[in-house]
Chain A
Amino acid sequence: MGVAPIIDRCHALLEDLDLACVSEWKAAGEGRRAVGFLPVYIPRELIHAAGALPVGILGAGEELEIVRGDACFQSYICHLPRSVVELGLRGKLDALDGVLFPSTCDVIRNLSGIWKMMFPDKEAIYFDVPQNLDPKVGGVFYRDMLAEIVTRLQRLVGRDVSEDDLRGSIAAYNTSRRLVRELYDLRAAEPWRVPTSETYLLLRAGMRLPVEEHNEMLTHYLAEVRDEDRALRDNARIVVTGTFCEQPSLSLVRTLEHAGCYVVDDDLMLVTRWYGPDIPTEGDPLEAIAGAWIDADDETPCRYVADGKRKGQQLVDSVQRCGAEGVIFAAPSFCDPALLDRPMLQAVLDEEGIAYTSFKYSENTAQLQPIREQAGTFADTIKLWSDA
């Protein structure tokens, strides 16, 4: 049957700005609730354990003209909050009963307050990810916060969340993380077989579907894609970084591919791609979630890197592990975390002799030709040097 029907379904989900799929899911069971979350990191296990559907809120991409959202923000700000507010004001997030705002940056932090003022009837929970990684300090605070969020979710869904509920959810998301790792490993090994436009669509589908269904979808795709007959091209192997929060449009991702880039690693849809090991399903589940966060040495621009010597090391590791030939820094315009990080990461790449190029985008960037030219030139240069 091939991967086409799976990808078609992902595509339909991507375009479902009204969250009809979420409303359908809610209508299929008594008292079902859906809880949205903003990028980058949220322990979706908590929402799932409460029997609710975790739904990623990723803006409107290139799909929606922003009118009312623009009136809420100054000119020098990334696009994501404008389109989230637009979606909210147009009733397109009505299927959500609450929203979690992680401490990604000042914009999302302030968006939590805007949300409270504009949509007072919906639960708004701020999720303050600890930057102190001492288990006895940041770990304790984190566990307390998780417990508080569980209490609030319990109120929202009107039922208790047991430790076993949480363990079951951890197991479901461990499976998800394993499948996503497998998908990424396969793409790094055979990028011509697994295009990034497909991995991206698959991961975005995970922002709408229940995790069990998404796990089935990933399993199915992984089985089918190995039989796809796709031609190997002489593309450059690239790591894309900076796309952890405001997501580029699918057209932009395709533009990179058309420009001659095989993306072998990226930080798109980071919430699904937590690199750390599986979270233990024994013991205190909240402590397990907190501990896994503390232990994971994932580097994103919104996480403090305590050891300055390790700054940028994850990017270098990714380049080496995936056999990449260069890095594209693709950052949302006006994104302080990504853009302030960039010079530090570029300095590390300079030291390692890894080639890179940079551009800015927004989720609704319409002019893709300049990006295509830049990425194309970069890919050509890499190929030229590697063939020399």
Chain B
Amino acid sequence: MKSTVIKEPSMVQQKEMISDHFQKLSEAPERGQKVVYTFVPGNLTELMLGFGTLPVHPEINALQSGMRKLSGDYIGAAERVGHSEDVCTYVKCDIGMLLDGNVGPTGKKLPDPDLLLLSYTGCFTFMKWFELLRERYDCPVAMLHVPYQADGEATEEMIAYVTKQLETEVIPKLEEVTGVAYDRERVREHLERSRIAEDDLVAVLEAAKHRPSPIDAYFGGVYYIGPMFTAFRGTEAAGAYYRQLRSEVDARVAAGQGPITPEGLLDEERFRIVVEGPPNWTHFREFWKMFYDEGAVVVASTYTKVGGVYDRGFRHDPDRPLETLAEYCLGCYTNLNLPTRVDMIADYVRDYAADGFLINSIKSCNSFSAGQLVMLRQIEDATGIPGGFIETDLVDPRYFSASNVKNRLESYFQMLQQRGSGLEAESA
């Protein structure tokens, strides 16, 4: 059913951008370019670009270590120096990588940070993570406290608080580290580019409303669609990338084609699924295969929204640079309360005409996972569709039991089929 491996121009473009980024990072100390370590949710990419800095995202290092099968050793190394087996494995994977020389995915050492930009949107562990890194690097920390949308909205007070912190904490530290003055116009230009790319991104994500869906909005979403948005949002290259991606996806829609998987085009969409929670990275391909072998396509996912909920209407507003960044930070997925997350997933199930929804509960991530079983029942009530539940981890290979996950997925898909969902049931 699947043909040969497909490499579309956007995939080549993405690969080049990423390798160029790591090349620049390895040369940054020589060139005197400043390096800022920061997190994906609530990232201040446009602001950082405005100061000419290069970002490093420790979570991305951790997930790449997971994909390169290094995370198990890194986690072990962190545990041997006293980190508990109970805590977030992203943190331990990063610490282990650091202990091992901080070598990035291209085999080159990552530069030390000139600034730790701690914008802890949606997860308290970020705070501990940078306290831990601070012990190892002699550099300043800029801390940005982003209040939680506990009542389902970002209030004026919250926006004012975050904006004020950008003015009094983040910008002065970026100025101090880079020796560059804050240039509103420059940030505005980056935000303008982001806004345009955001339109293209949303068009790509919403293309999944077509039947068959031309994209996989989870595995494909994190592998092909999302990554550019973190380090590159606001650059011309990111704009070009999303234009290209959108045109490829439009072409697939016109041709009635399904998504591209590692084994080629998926030619039969049997189940349309919404997924909540991050993926497992240590067995990413194997995990994905469990879906596409069954003809299951993820039509919407929440994990692709940790870096912003553009499909729910948010766009960066170039004319209000700091306020818009504040609103962006406040609106990232894990900063939304559980009832909002439930509504969002239930809307996805309806809007994307999904047959089912699945929660991948990450063992070591309380931010995502605490309460997901309650969410499951609420979404079931709201949609009338039974949900599936599996437990894995982001990067700890000890917590991925392939046979167990496969069994659960197979039974879930079988159950969907029996209750009259999916392509075969429809055509029967």
Contact = CB atoms under 8 A, between A and B. Distances in A.
* Most chain A CB atoms below 10 A, which of B125, B165, B341, B366: B366
A118 B375 CA distance: 10
Interface string A82-102: 000000000000000000010
Given A112-B150, A132-B165, A304-B127, A71 B86 contact: no
Contacts of A75: 363, 391
Interface string A310-341: 01000000000000000000010111110111
Which of A107, A117, A118 neighbours the largest number of chain B CB atoms within 10 Å of its CB? A117
B143 interface: yes
B164 interface: yes
B157 A144 contact: yes
Given A105-B124, A116-B339, A117-B338, A347 B143 contact: no
A330 to B, nearest CB: 13
B304 interface: no
Contacts of B391: 74-75
A340 B378 CA distance: 32
Interface string B119-143: 0100111011101101100000101
A128 interface: yes
Contacts of B369: 74, 76-77
Interface residues of A, number: 58
B141 to A, nearest CB: 7
A177 B73 CA distance: 48
Given A75-B363, A76-B363, A130 B370 contact: no
A55 to B, nearest CB: 20
B29 interface: no
Contacts of B363: 74-76
| Interface size bracket, B side | 35 or more
Interface string B236-261: 00000000000000000000000000
A375 B128 CA distance: 27
A296 B183 CA distance: 36
Contacts of B165: 132, 137
Contact of A106 (B125, B143, B342, B373): B125
Contact of B145 (A110, A131, A342): A131
Contacts of A360: 84, 86
B82 A337 contact: no
Given A335-B86, A360-B86, A128 B150 contact: yes
Given A128-B150, A304-B131, A117 B374 contact: yes
A112 B337 contact: yes
A141 interface: yes
Given A76-B86, A301-B128, A109 B148 contact: yes
Interface centre among A131, A140, A346 (most CB of B within 10 A): A131
Contact of A336 (B82, B88, B135, B157): B88
B124 A336 contact: yes
Contact of B378 (A103, A112, A117, A339): A117
Of B86, B160, B363, B391, most buried by chain A (CB within 10 Å of CB) is B86
Nearest to B338: A113
B144 to A, nearest CB: 8
A103 B378 CA distance: 24
Interface string A240-263: 000000000000000000000000
Contacts of B143: 131-132, 304, 306
A352 to B, nearest CB: 16
The 6 closest A-B pairs by CB, nearest first: A113-B338, A126-B150, A340-B128, A141-B161, A131-B145, A110-B370
17 contacts: A72-B374, A73-B370, A77-B369, A103-B124, A113-B339, A113-B341, A114-B338, A131-B143, A137-B169, A141-B147, A145-B157, A311-B131, A334-B87, A336-B125, A339-B86, A342-B84, A344-B135
